[in-house]
């Protein structure tokens, strides 16, 4: 087993903006240690360690989780709009005929096909 492991940490402060850090940490390091090693909390002061949501390769995890070599730690932003509300508003603005699975139908086709 190696003494050092390669970890990448990713945070997206805004849509279509991604900040990534590549680092080497001692074997047995935790997610919290990776956060402090890359100084993401200093660069983005709006992040608070107590209310932070993090994951590894898209799976939500705790800050005490021990990392493995080549893990990708991701910091998640909170949702601004509930996805159900956004979908409902999109449907209301588009109307029944232009939204959904059967919005585009062939001429002369049966309903629902």
Question: Tens digit of pLDDT for each residue in 57-113?
Answer: 999 999 999 999 999 999 998 888 888 998 888 888 776 666 566 566 667 766 655
Domains in the chain (CATH in brackets) are: 4-76 (3.10.20.30)
**Strand 59-61 relative to strand 72-76: parallel, antiparallel, unpaired?**
unpaired
Torsion angle of alpha carbons 34, 35, 38, 42, nearest 10°? -160
The predicted pLDDT at position 48 comes to 80
Instruction: At 11, list the tokens.
Output: 């945070």
Mean pLDDT, rounded, for 36-59 = 88
- What H or E segment, with its residue span, contains residue 23? strand 17-26
Cβ neighbours of residue 22 under 8 Å, at least 6 residues apart?
Answer: 6, 7, 8
pLDDT at 8 over 50: yes
Cβ neighbours of residue 77 under 8 Å, at least 6 residues apart?
Answer: 12, 13
Tell me the β-bridge partners of 72: 8
- What H or E segment, with its residue span, contains residue 5? strand 4-14
The predicted pLDDT at position 105 comes to 66
Cβ neighbours of residue 48 under 8 Å, at least 6 residues apart?
Answer: none
The predicted pLDDT at position 1 comes to 47
pLDDT above 90: percentage of residues in the chain: 47
């Amino acid at each position: 087993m190696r003494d050092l492991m390669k970890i990448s940490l990713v945070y997206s402060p805004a849509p279509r903006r991604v900040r990534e850090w590549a680092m080497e940490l001692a074997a047995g390091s935790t997610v919290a240690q990776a956060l402090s090693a890359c100084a993401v909390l200093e660069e983005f002061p709006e992040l608070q360690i107590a209310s932070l949501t993090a994951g590894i390769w898209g799976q939500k995890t705790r800050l005490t989780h021990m990392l493995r070599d080549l893990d990708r730690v991701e910091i998640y932003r909170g949702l601004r709009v509930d996805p159900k509300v956004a979908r409902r508003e999109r449907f209301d603005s588009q109307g029944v005929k232009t939204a959904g699975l059967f919005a585009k139908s062939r001429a002369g086709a049966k309903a629902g096909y």
